[in-house]
Amino acid sequence: MTDTALESTLIAGAQKGDKKSVSLLVNKYSSRIYAVAFRLMQNEEDAEDVLQETFIIMLNKLSTFEGKSSLYTWLYRVATNVALGKLRKKKNVDDSRSFDKIEFENISSLELADWPDHLEKKFDTEEFRKCLEKAMDELPDHYRAVFILRDLEGHSTRNTAKILEISEANVKVRLMRARLYLRDQLAYHLKCVDRGDYGRP
């Protein structure tokens, strides 16, 4: 039996209330859903909440699943929506993290010099890792979600668009902005930018 045929059988079984089929589906996808939840939420507790909510939704809605997309894509969509919803709520509560401070229109207007060789060695420093983490953390959620799905999880533009329910053009724009923002943060860290143009303290 092929993977697709096996999955269809499991979904059909789960839709009829067969617990064994549900268990096998949960077992198959829970690690990947947890991974994307963790990357989006950036802590274990929230990632676990997203994981549990995603599979509770799966249990409740599976009877209406028509197989227009794969279950995997459908679960990713649910998980990212749950995660982004939680992040939005957090944003409202925690005013100290103002995502709006980033002026995306001005990104990449800086003059770049070529980066030094052997960046991987520089990457080993704690300071550089912190710079990367901070840059990722500062990215607005909808940009970070695209970057995570495309560049870290390896989804195609088309699949990312389906998961986030946005257009492919929107995926490309958000990905470009996320990459440029991260690049500029690293460039600043590497002191390769013309500080006069960048205007940072």
Partner 1 sequence: MEDHNKELSDILNNKLGEDIDNSTVQDLADHIKKCEDCMVDVDTIQQTVKLVRMGDFEVLIPPNVSKRLFKVLGLEE
User: Cα-flanking dihedrals φ and ψ of residue 95, to 5°?
Assistant: -75, -15
Residue among 94 and 154 whose Cβ is closer to partner 1: 154
Give CA torsion, residues 40, 52, 44, 29, to 10 deg. Answer: -70
Least separation, in Å, of the C-beta of 95 and partner 1?
27
From CA 139, how far away is CA 179, in angstroms rounded? 10
Does 175 engage in binding with partner 1 (CB under 8 A)? yes
Q: Can you give the length of the chain in residues?
A: 201
CB–CB of 19/79 below 8 Å?
A: no
CB burial of 33-60 (b: ≥16 within 10 Å; e: otherwise) equals: bbbbbbbbbeeeebbebbbebbbebbee
- In the set 50, 83, 161, 187, which binds partner 1 (CB under 8 A)? 187
Does 163 engage in binding with partner 1 (CB under 8 A)? no
The CA–CA distances, whole Å, from 25 to 2, 4, 22, 37 equal 15, 12, 5, 18
- In the set 7, 83, 143, 150, which binds partner 1 (CB under 8 A)? 150
- In the set 123, 125, 137, 194, which binds partner 1 (CB under 8 A)? 123
Does 19 engage in binding with partner 1 (CB under 8 A)? yes
Does 170 engage in binding with partner 1 (CB under 8 A)? no
Per CB under 8 A, contacts with partner 1 among 40-79 are 44, 48, 51-52, 55-56, 59
Which residues here bind partner 1, judged by CB under 8 A? 19, 22-23, 26-27, 30-31, 34-35, 38-39, 44, 48, 51-52, 55-56, 59, 108, 112-115, 119-120, 123, 129, 132-133, 136, 147, 150-152, 157, 172-173, 175-176, 179-180, 182-183, 186-187
